[in-house]
Structure 1
Amino acid sequence: MNSLIHTASLISDACLNTEKVPRALISCGVVEAAAALCLIFSKAPGGIFLHHGKAPFYLYYGILVAIVVCGLIEASAGFWVSGDTVGRHAAGMTILWVSIMPLVTVAALGGFIILNVK
C-alpha cells in the first residue's frame, strides 16, 4: 500500500512541475506492470472469475496481461517525454491520467497485497 501512496504522490507532483512528468510516468508504469505480474504468477482468480465458466477465467488473465503491456508502454513514454519535457508535457500528462484506470484495476484485483510484508 505504501507504493500505491508513493505513486499517487508522484502523479500529483507531476501536475505541479513539468520536470517531474517523466519520473512519474516511468515509476507508475513499472509499479503497474510489476503489480500485474505479481498477480499473474501468485494469485489465482477469485470471485466472479471462478464459477461462471472458462471465459471469465481467461478474461482475468487477459486483463492482467493488458495491464502489464500498458505499464511497459507508460514507462517507455516516460523515456520519450524526458527527451523534451516542455514540448511533450501535454502528451505525457495525458498518458499519465489515462494510466490511472489500469492502476486502479490492479489495486482492485489485489495486486498490492503482495507488498504487505508482515
Structure 2
Amino acid sequence: MDVLGRIARAISNALRDPEKLPGALILCGVLEAAAALSLVFFRVPGGVFLHHGDRALVYVYYGVLIAVVVFGLAEASTAFWVAGDPNGRRAVGMTVLWLSILPLIIVAALGGFSSAPPK
C-alpha cells in the first residue's frame, strides 16, 4: 500500500505544480503497466473468473489487463510530450492523470499492488 501512497502524493503535488506533472504521469503510467504485467504473468485468475467452466471471463480478465498495460505506457509517453511545455499542456496532462485513476483502481482490486507472494 506504500506504492499507492506515493502515487497519491505525486498526483497531489502535480495538482499544485505543473512542473511536477510529467513526473506524476511517468510514475503512474509505469506502475500501472508493471502491476498489470505482474498480474498477467504471475497470477492466475480464480473465483468468479472460473465460474461454471466458462472461459469468456478469463479472456475479459486478460483483455482488461492488457488494456491497462497499453494505457499505462501511453500515459508515460504523454508525460514526455507534456514535459515540453508543462504550463501550456497542463490540461491534457491533468486529464490523462485523472483518467488513470480507474485503471489504478482496477489493478489494485485485482491484486496488482499486493505484497503477497504469487501462487
Range of TM-score over shorter length:
over 0.9
* Aligned position for 2:46: 46
Amino acid at match of 1:62: G
RMSD: 1.2
Deviations 1:58-102 (A, max 9, x none): 100000000000000000000110000010001000000011000
For the residue of structure 2 that corresponds to 1:45, the secondary structure is: coil
* Aligned position for 2:103: 102
Alpha-carbon distance in 2 for matches of 1:68, 1:25: 14
Structure 1 unaligned residues grouped into runs of 5+? none
Instruction: Output the TM-score relative to the length of structure 2.
Output: 0.93
* Aligned position for 1:112: 113
Amino acid at match of 2:65: L
Which has the higher mean CA deviation after the structures are superposed, 40-49 or 67-76?
40-49
Once the two structures are superposed, the pairs formed by residues 13-32 of structure 1 within 5 Å of their partners are 13-32=13-32
Deviations 1:21-79 (A, max 9, x none): 00000010000000000000001012211114010011000000000000000000001
Q: Could you list the runs of 4 or more consecutive aligned residues of structure 1 that deviate by over 3 angstroms after TM superposition?
A: none
* Aligned position for 1:62: 63
Alpha-carbon distance in 2 for matches of 1:84, 1:24: 15
Identity of aligned residues (%): 59
1:116 to partner: Cα distance: 5.4
* Aligned position for 1:76: 77
Once the two structures are superposed, the pairs formed by residues 87-98 of structure 1 within 5 Å of their partners are 87-98=88-99
Instruction: Output the TM-score relative to the length of structure 1.
Output: 0.94
